[in-house]
A and B are shown apart, each in its own frame.
Chain A
């Protein structure tokens, strides 16, 4: 099973040190207790803002889609809490009970657990793995994850329980590329529907998977009910039932939680924390996430992309504006004590994160000096001018985010103090993303939620991410950064990958293509009777099957048992 990566003794020691440090700084919600005998049963009602759209993992587009499909469907193997994407050592078996690497690492043989069954009783077969991959690669399907499996050449079936995944290149994340992205779906259910019709086919709403929960009832826009698959090959989940209650308005969702109608409130807002402090029936759980938010400067002129931006094309100006922003004070202002500072172009829950990297200081004197040096002189109204152009720009922000709006106002005030005028340009989310794609924003209040892979860094901060499908909306480009990111992506040595990534982070921070502001505190409100487990940063629901409600703490709805839903 282990991947034949060479790991030197020094690397191993370093890795252990890094892991130990990571463990010390881990903000993961810890288990509140261990489930004991008789703790099986109960109902968890989750108040959620949006309904699912598709229950076919190949076509998931929203966070709710993913949340539900992750509970209904299994992968070949599951990533660990470290979210380490290199090699296979942090993965544990799911549908594949074991796997073997070819000696040249160009293929991996997965042995399917013979006990694995679909929710309709049919056995999970190796041909399902092949079909699942084929579905993602089928251009008529339009799978949103198609680009993520581009390194996989094909999947062949050796026998009914053995699938072989063949790769085009031997890369550090090749195991992750397949097992994390390819969720195995049932061929016998889906194969009668042509790929082009899958997006609108009813079959994608049936949710027949192999996970520990199965779909019991879905009233679109109202509720979605999952029940325990008691005969699951991985064992039944601790609770009987999970119910997603759709409340598009946040206040309504919160009231349903505080009135006891719901047990879990997703995305608990900071202003509700004080209310929870004295609550004897509810508590706050905090968990790591992969989200970080920033103020991004556009390095090129939105009206003439071949030219540098008249303000932000100058590295010194970007650094000056960064130094004029007191990120810690703003964090305190917006989040009080619960915020987390963003340290660079990475979330701190990432396995590559380094919060000790040197940051640009908050220093308004130095900021003014840099602006003076760059030729921006203070005009009669206090706004700086250079060659007849005022140091004035629009800061795009989506109206859907109150936090980003708050930050925009604070930034407007902070930059005015050093002679820069900011116009807050608020628009609805579709308009905001349209501006991002067209690169028409001067500056924007952005937020990024990358997957755990190193390659996410390339998409958003390397030259490869400029234009087209890239997420480098500020068109920041530095060949040294590009080289460092490419080296990080291709290194098989975990320590070297980390070193390359940290050097890339450092370069980016010093070039100041953005000001990294905060990591959205990931919190949920949870009824105290529900005992949670450790939570993974890529989705709080990853451990839901192990959440439990002790028998003594159950309410009437917990005691319904697994009677069939009428």
Chain B
């Protein structure tokens, strides 16, 4: 990964990756730090000649693993405070609060499945690989998460779509 590729990756994927990890962990500072750390690790690996097939998926997986660490979260929160002031992230709007609250009510695995699916567009197979679980489990978790989020966010199902889902079930 040379600097041109890095700039392109950062421009196109950085914000969405940070958003996804932040939704999952409910910790923006930790998410931003984890994504940056993951990008740097990917950069180092490619310089050593290692191949990373799907860079955005790799960075997402590593960033999410890093974010799960409780100690890292606590320390980053403290260390990142001055930087947050300088960077001035956008304050959460009403819609963002709704989404964050709805996600926060989900069990961790359902929350992760929903974010990987709806924010990062991963397939059930890719989610299963990343979470080291079966596709069946992913589908089950996604079904539950979808139902809870739709209710919490007052989403209305198109009648045709509803029939279609009913047939699938």
Do A and B come together as binding partners? no
Binding site for A on B (CB under 8 A): none
Binding site for B on A (CB under 8 A): none
